[in-house]
Amino acid sequence: MTPGSLSRNPSVLIFLATLALFTLAVTFLSEAAGAGLISTSFVKTLGKTLCLCLIALAMDLIWGFAGILSLGHFAFFALGGYMIGMWLMYARTEVIVVEALAGAGLPPTPQEIRDGIASQIFGVVGGSDLPAIWAFAGSLPAQLALVVLVPGTLALVFGWLAFRSRVTGVYLSILTQAMTLALALYLFQNDSGLRGNNGLSGLQNIPGAEAVGQDWLSVWFFWASAAALGLGYALAAWVVSGKFGSVIRAIRDDEARVRFLGYPVEVYKLTVFTLTAVITAIAGALYYPQAGIINPAEMAPIASIYLAVWVAIGGRGRLYGAVIGAVFVSLLSSWFTGGRAPDLNLGFYTVKWVDWWQIVLGLSFVLVTLYAPRGIGGLFDLIAGLRAPDRRGAALGPGDGALREQEAKE
Amino acid sequence: MSALLEVSGISVTFDGFRAINNLSFEIGPAELRAVIGPNGAGKTTFMDIVTGKTRPDSGKVLFGERSVNLLGMTEAQIARAGVGRKFQRPTVFEDQSVAENLMMALKADRGPFAVLRWRPRPEHHARVAELASEVGLADHLPRKAGELSHGQKQWLEIGMLLAQEPRLLLVDEPAAGMTLAEREHTTRLLVDLAKTRAVVVVEHDMDFVRRLACKVTVLHEGAVLAEGSLDHVTRNPAVIEVYLGRG
């Protein structure tokens, strides 16, 4: 990052400083580091929230900047989680199996250990063989590489097919959602090799760190998530700051015109799609060890729609907006659905937030889209005195994802 | 002098309607040409074919010294080969500043990774400022293009075309919606540009065409009806019949 791009994006420094302060504060208030004011489970919730911010950031890059409403990014998120989950589960089961076999007289052969692991992991789906996709599960570096490679390759192939045929707008959204649904349905099958609807579990136990308590592990993962978010934010800001940012915003507003400037629009879309898929996968790989469990329900189409809602409520086309949206909605959501919100007694009816939260969320999405399209991030424009241009209702370009009048800044 | 663009025998049919019918057209590397014709004569379709937006059913479109066939290339590849196009309605990126619009159009590597690493150097800023003053937008560089007036957007788009440094420039009705002074400026600019590159102007306005003082191609029903100086073609009885006679 050059000094020029930093001075043009003061939000990067503000964001990184805020994130650093927040990380320090949570660390000192956690159970691990002393004060104990924040429970270990809440540290995990905060860490997971940071991962969700990272995926929201990716969503803002692809939707807010490049105008592609992808409803498939949670597939990449979950795939990233599965890839790290395979190693976590394999390595931890290996420890258990080796311990169990140590009691026998003869030292166990590698084959015995492998069979033991396979029947431990796959007994639940009635199998005892390790599927071929688990070939590298014993190696952490290999699975870490797969965290990036598997979702990245899927995005590359899928994106190439979709963008090459010039599918845009709502049809592309449907296509991405179909991809996600197909993948989820495939993984639900027991013979898909990833334990069907049981998914992978026990991911909160880190092999080799058995001596470390969950209180410290949660803080470690919190730090890692914060670091990933910070790096992701800086990367995204760098990507959108220069001419590349100009080109992808131009593609969002009027892709036909960009072609006549000589830019290969499809290649740009593919680049952004794949880049954001990789960022998303990394977020997933950090999220699921904190969640402890992953199953195919995680990539249900609704999850990707939530993602779009976070970005819309936070304010599309501004990086901090996506992060604010993700924090705000996901924390509020876990408060309402966690049963901690007091019921609202209306006399004739008692509103139980666990049931009503979804409706409140849906309604606020509709209201934000209609009346405050700049979302929560738009409040910063109010403070800075920026208003929307008066364009008599015309969008900023003919593209499907083009900024609407109310979203633009004067 | 060999031709820069050589269109031969192209035909295109939309739902049974022959928009272009065995059209042939040639233009030299430094030439100004006006294309006129009544509505539906195929002027815009002709430009669509050359820029890759529409694929013809038959024919060839050869470009440059090495006579590359533009058919089969994407719009972006054709633009990179050196064909620039100015649309009838000004199309600029309204959410971006005048400077950003021009910077994007500057001739440079268009690949995503090259663009990702690209950062403007002083000479690029200088070139953008020079282009902006050439089209009368020097004071508007930081403004968003969406705030400009219709005429200013036209100028910005022309500036972007200049920034692309195309070898062939296709201009669709440049004078539409311009004031008299602006038209004169446009005329001068086009004549000037045609000294170093090929410029094809599609125009309805006969006054404007007369001012360009160049060779004229008359299209009718997707084919060339007449070619020559404006006076020559306006004396052609067939042209009078289909075009001028109907006023």
Q: What is the pLDDT of residues A217-273, one digit of tens each?
A: 999 999 999 999 999 999 999 999 889 999 999 999 999 999 999 999 999 999 999
DSSP designation for A343 = P
CB contact under 8 A, B112 and A262: no
| Residue A220 tokens, joined | 């470690």
Distances (CA, A) of B118 to A138, A232, B112: 41, 20, 10
Select the more confidently predicted residue: B121 or B39: B121
Contact across the interface for A249 and B104, Cβ inside 8 Å = no
> Is some CB atom of chain A closer than 8 A to the CB atom of B85?
yes
Instruction: List CB contacts of A73: < 8 A, sequence separation 6 or more.
Output: A55, A58, A59, A62, A276, A277, A280, A304, A307
Among A313-322, B108-117, B163-172, B176-185, the range scoring the smallest mean pLDDT is B176-185
Q: How far is B76 from chain A (nearest CA, A)?
A: 4
Give chain A positions within 8 Å (CB) of B111: 264, 267
On chain A, the residues whose CB falls within 8 A of the CB of B93 are 246, 249-250, 253-254, 257, 397
- Please tell me the distance from the alpha carbon of residue B217 to that of residue B26, in angstroms, as a whole number: 10
Residue A1 confidence (pLDDT): 40
Gyration radius (Cα) of chain A, Å: 23
Helix (H/G/I), strand (E/B), else coil: A70: coil
Q: Which residues on chain B are in Cβ contact (under 8 Å) with A2?
A: 119
Angle at B194 between CA B192 and CA B200, to 5 degrees: 125
For residue B147, which residues of chain A lie inside 8 Å, CB to CB?
Answer: 389, 410
Interchain proximity A254–B110, CB inside 8 Å:
no
Cβ distance A359 to A352 under 8 Å?
Answer: no
Rounded to whole angstroms, the Cα distance separating A233 from A54 reads 8
| Chain-chain contact of A389 with B84 (C-beta, under 8 angstroms) | no
Chain A nearest CA to B121, separation (Å) = 11
Nearest to A392 by CA among A408, A376, A369, A381: A408
Which secondary structure element, helix H or strand E, spans residue B171, and what is its range?
strand B168-172
| φ and ψ of A305, to 5 deg | -70, -40
Burial code (b: 16+ CB inside 10 Å, e: under 16) for A158-173 equals bbbebbeeeebeeebb
User: For residue B166, what are the contacts with CB-CB under 8 A and spacing of at least 6?
Assistant: B79, B82, B83, B84, B197
Report the chain A residue with the minimal C-alpha distance to residue B104. Answer: A243
* Alpha-carbon gap, residue A62 to A84, rounded angstroms: 24
The counts of H helices and E strands in chain B are 10, 10
State which H helix or E strand residue B224 sits in.
Answer: strand B223-228
Residues B94, A262: C-beta atoms closer than 8 Å: no
Q: How many residues does chain A have?
A: 410
Which residue in A has a C-alpha nearest to residue B105's C-alpha? A261
Residues of chain A under the 70 pLDDT cut: 1-9, 410
Q: How confident is the model at residue B16 (pLDDT cuts 50, 70, 90)?
A: confident
Alpha-carbon distance of A346 to A387, in angstroms, equals 39
Q: Is B196 in a helix, a strand, or coil?
A: coil
To test the contact with chain B by mutation, choose from A156, A163, A260, A406 the residue with the greatest count of B C-beta atoms within 10 A, namely: A260
What confidence score (pLDDT) does residue B246 get? 53
Question: CA–CA distance from A9 to each of A13, A241, B17 (Å)?
Answer: 8, 8, 53
Q: Which residues 206-235 on chain B approach chain A with CB closer than 8 angstroms?
A: none
A235 burial type by CB count under 10 A (0-12 exposed, 13-18 middle, 19+ buried): middle
Percent of chain B clearing pLDDT 90 (strictly above): 56
All residues at 6 or more sequence positions from B28 whose CB lies less than 8 Å from its CB, including other chains? B1, B2, B3, B4, B198
**Amino acid B244: pLDDT:** 55
Q: Which of A160, A243, A272 to probe the B interface (max B CBs under 10 A)? A: A243
Torsional sign, CA A178, A180, A185, A189: positive
pLDDT above 80: residue B139 = yes
Query: Per the CB < 8 Å rule, is A244 touching B119?
Result: no
**pLDDT at res. A6:** 55
- Do B165 and B107 form a contact (C-beta atoms < 8 A)? yes
Residue A269 · residue A163 · CB < 8 Å: yes
What does A284-321 look like in DSSP terms, one character per residue?
Answer: HHHHHHHH-EE-GGGG-HHHHHHHHHHHHHH-TT-HHH
Distance from the Cα of residue B100 to its chain's centroid: 22
User: Tell me, what's the ipTM?
Assistant: 0.89
Please tell me the predicted confidence (pLDDT) of residue A224: 96
pLDDT, chain A, mean: 89
Phi, psi of B220 (to 5 degrees): -150, 130
pLDDT tens readout for residues B18-49: 889 999 999 999 999 999 888 888 888 999 99
Q: Which residue has the tokens 């008066």?
A: A390
Looking at the DSSP bridge assignments, the partners of residue B141 are none
Q: Under 8 Å CB-to-CB from A106, ≥6 apart: which residues?
A: none
Angstroms from B90 CA to nearest CA on chain A: 11
pLDDT at A5 (0 to 100) = 52
CA dist A255 → A371, B77, B225 (Å)? 27, 15, 35
Cβ-based contacts of A403 with chain B (< 8 Å): 95
Give the integer Cα–Cα distance in Å for B216 and B205. Answer: 13
CB contact under 8 A, B104 and A246: yes
Residue A97 corresponds to which tokens in the numbers above? 């199996």
Question: Looking at chain B, which residue has its C-alpha nearest residue A403?
Answer: B95
Would you call A260 and B75 a contact, using CB atoms and an 8 Å cutoff?
Answer: yes
**What does A76-108 look like in DSSP terms, one character per residue?**
HHHHHHHHHHHHHHHHHHHHHHHHHHHTSSSPP
A257 closest CB neighbour out of B91, B103, B113: B91
The H or E element containing residue B227 is: strand B223-228
Residues B219-244: what's their mean pLDDT? 86
**3-state helix, strand and coil shares in percent for chain B, rounded to the nearest 5:** 40, 25, 35
Is the confidence at residue B247, as pLDDT, over 60?
no
pLDDT of residue A2: 45
